[in-house]
Amino acid sequence: MDCTICNNLMDDYFDGHLSHKKRKQVTGHLTTCQGCSEFFRKYENMLKSIRNVEIKKCPDEVVDSVFDIINIDDKFSRRKSVFDRINEFLFLYSRQLGIAGAAVTVFLFVFLITSQFDKTTHVQQQYTTQDVEQATDQVKLALAYFNQVTSRTEEIIEKEILHQQVVRPMKSSIRTALKPLINGG
Amino acid sequence: MKRYIIVLLFVLVLPFSASAQENYSKYQGYVDLSDIEEFKDSDETVEIFITKPLLSLVAAATSSGEDPSFSNLLKNLALIRVETFNVKEKETTKVKKIIQKVSKKLTKEKWSRIVRVKEKDERVEIFIKPDGEKIAGLLIMSLKPDKEAVFVNIVGNIDMEQLGKLSRKFDIPQLDSLEVKKKSKK
């Protein structure tokens, strides 16, 4: 056994985890090696000192604070901020968003242009002289239909309603009332 | 890549179509006459639909004519629509119901009925849509059973006095020879 192997087995030696054979090999090396023997003695003293240290109970506030810190860290590791989520979304869908944004911009641009277009000029280019002449005749025809209906309405009101239902009964009543006078009664 | 080009083309075309078609239902004086669509296949129909741009052109073209009031009337109008069709005896009830339905709807929408005539099976109803001191719309519905139904909708800032005066100058028989949109199925 050399010094390196002996030093590596030191922890297991003191913990009692070595087999009888290995323990004998370590002890045999210590009797022949002054350096490892010295190291063994210091290590043994250190372990004794640690065992003799008084264990003090940790105050509850300190324990709670430690647990709080552990819990906060845990929450942070699970929950993402809104900003992080937005960043993640943008990163994942950057290409599609770029195309959608470009399409919306083009649409708005073209829509604004067409709505601001000089409509009068546009209309004049759309209609020919023949269209305007035909439209003039159509307007006159529309007015003629308006006249037809309103004239017929006047006719009905005057002749049918007023005459039949107002004037004629009134004339008849007056004739009846004046009959005695007319007949010399 | 192809897909993106198609999407881009679609996006370019869309605003043109959106701005091209005017929605007349936005005008207070506009009346939806879709119920009479089924009668458009009858023997003889007249359909007139003149929109604001064309009315403006007609007003401009007739401004230096004999009667400037004609031009003045048209300048302020947004739409003139006329629908007439022949009505057979069996269709009279249906047309009466349409007139009733439209009348109820207009009454709910705060139109004012200025004329209502019921003479045997003949019907005439005239509505106006007031807009403060102005008149924003006019609707005439007329039914002569076994003859003709006439629907006239005028939209815009209407001068009723001018309209009445001007209309007396025009007679349908006089205009029969003119090139107007008239369909006659034989």
Q: What is the pLDDT of residue A177?
A: 81
- Closest-CA residue in chain A for B178? A137
Q: What distance in Å separates the CA atoms of residue A122 and residue A127, rounded to the nearest whole number? A: 9
Token code pair at residue A160: 């049918």
Within 8 A by CB and 6+ apart from B125, the residues are: B99, B103, B113, B115, B116, B117, B139, B140, B141, B142
Contacts of A135 in chain B (CB under 8 A): 50, 54-55, 57-58
**More confident call, A147 vs A63:** A147
pLDDT at A80 over 80: no
Contacts of A102 in chain B (CB under 8 A): 8
Task: Note whether A107 contacts B126, CB cutoff 8 Å.
Answer: no
Q: In what order do the strands lie in the sheet with B148-156?
A: B112-119, B122-131, B134-144, B148-156, B77-86, B44-51, B182-184
Task: Note whether A146 contacts B55, CB cutoff 8 Å.
Answer: no
Q: What is the pLDDT of residue B185?
A: 34
Q: What distance in Å separates the CA atoms of residue B159 and residue B156, rounded to the nearest whole number? A: 9
- Does the beta carbon of A105 lie under 8 angstroms from any beta carbon of chain B? no
Task: Output the average pLDDT for chain A.
Answer: 79
| Alpha-carbon gap: B59 to the closest alpha carbon of chain A (Å) | 9
Q: What is the pLDDT of residue A28?
A: 92
Indicate which of B11, B52, B139, B144 best probes the interface with A, i.e. most A CBs within 10 Å of its own CB.
Answer: B11
As for the ipTM of the complex, it is: 0.79
| Alpha-carbon gap: A169 to the closest alpha carbon of chain B (Å) | 19
Q: What is the pLDDT of residue B186?
A: 31
Low-confidence ranges of chain B (pLDDT < 50): 19-20, 177-186
pLDDT digits (tens, 9 = 90+) for A153-181: 888 877 766 667 777 777 788 878 877 87
**pLDDT (mean) for A88-93:** 76
Instruction: Answer whether B98's CB lies under 8 Å from B36's CB.
Output: yes
Among B175, B170, B157, CA closest to B52: B157
Window from A14-28, A69-83, B28-42 with minimum mean pLDDT: A69-83
Output the DSSP codes for B56-101.
HHHHHHTTTSS-HHHHHHHHTEEEEEEEEEE--GGGHHHHHHHHHH
Binding-face residues of A in 122-181 toward B, CB within 8 A: 123-124, 126-127, 131-132, 134-150, 152-153, 156-157, 160
Q: What is the pLDDT of residue A75?
A: 52
pLDDT digits (tens, 9 = 90+) for A93-142: 787 788 888 888 888 887 777 666 545 445 455 788 888 888 988 998 89
Q: What is the pLDDT of residue A155?
A: 82
pLDDT at A69 over 50: yes
Q: What is the pLDDT of residue A78?
A: 55
What count of CB pairs under 8 Å joins A to B? 134
Share of chain A above pLDDT 70, in %: 83
The full set of domain ranges for chain A reads: 3-52, 89-126, 130-180
